[in-house]
Structure formats: C-alpha cells, structure tokens
Amino acid sequence: MPNFFQLIKKTDGQAETLVAVDEALCRMANVDPDPQVYYMGWVDTVGLLLACGRPWEEIRKTYEGSALEEVCAFLQMHYDVRAWYVRG
C-alpha cells in the first residue's frame, strides 16, 4: 500500500515541493543542497514516518538526540502535513 505525504507552508497554506523543502533545510543548516540526495536523508526517514501518519511528537521523540532532531523541529515549525495512502 503506497503512502504519500505533502508539506504545506504554514505562512500561506500552499503545498511545497520536497526539493524546495530540502533547499530550506540546507539554508537552515548552512550547507549546499545536493542534487542527488536529500539533506541527511530526511525524506527516507522523517518523510516516511510522516507518510505513515505518525504525529510530530512521536517523530521528534524517535530522533531525539540525533542530528535529525533539528530537521524535525524545523519541519514542524514551518509546515503542516497532509498524509494519505492508496490501496492498490
């Protein structure tokens, strides 16, 4: 069953592309975006949990004390999440 998620900017309620979110994370971390991989693999870790419908509190607790904790805090501060799945 495929799971999907979308990040919605809290400032204007518009959906943001994952590439644009990654660029914002890279600015936050003061690193150059890598055109081949997302910053710290956040889409495959944090993004997967978001797609599975996990709440921010659980996700932040999962990564507490790790380098991804700052990523979680940034995403939660700037984006709302929409998650859904498709039966197939």
Its pTM stands at 0.92
Give the pLDDT mean for 70-77. Answer: 98
| pLDDT above 80 (res 1) | no
Q: How many domains does the chain have?
A: 1
Report the chain's mean pLDDT, rounded to a whole number: 95
How large a percentage of the chain has pLDDT more than 70?
98
Domain that holds residue 20: 3-85
Structure tokens at 47: 């993004």
| DSSP-assigned states of every residue in the chain | --EEEEEEETTT--EE-HHHHHHHHHHHHT-PPPSSS-GGGHHHHHHHHHHTT--HHHHHHHTTTSTHHHHHHHHHHHEEEEEEE---
- Res 88: pLDDT: 72
| pLDDT above 90 (res 76) | yes
Cα(51)–Cα(4) distance, integer angstroms = 5
